[in-house]
Amino acid sequence: MNSFYVLIKHLTILKHMCILSIKEIVQYQIYFNVKHCLLAPTIQNPKEAAIHIESFMLIGAES
């Protein structure tokens, strides 16, 4: 399972929980692609991908 698929899956779950909007999901997809898929394409663990998403969400909430 590739990391981008895992990201979409996790974001979809968050979206269904009404935590994320479509716009936010697109922003996180772009961020994940640039920061992780290109720099660390070895992320394949869903929990690891979720941690990256959560940390980015926290950074976004602080700014």
pLDDT number for residue 42: 47
CA 21/CA 34 separation, integer angstroms: 20
pTM: predicted TM-score of the whole model, two decimal places: 0.26
Q: Is 18 left (phi over 0), alpha (psi -120 to 50) or beta?
A: left
What pLDDT does residue 52 have? 59
**Can you give the residue range of the structural domain that contains 51?**
3-62
11 alpha carbon, distance to own chain's centre: 6
pLDDT at 62: 45
Q: Tell me how many domains the chain contains.
A: 1
The whole-angstrom separation of Cα 45 and Cα 57 is: 19
* pLDDT score, position 41: 44
Low-confidence ranges of the chain (pLDDT < 50): 1, 37-43, 59-63
Classified as helix, coil or strand, 62 is: helix
Tell me the DSSP string of 46-59: HHHHHHHHHHHHHH
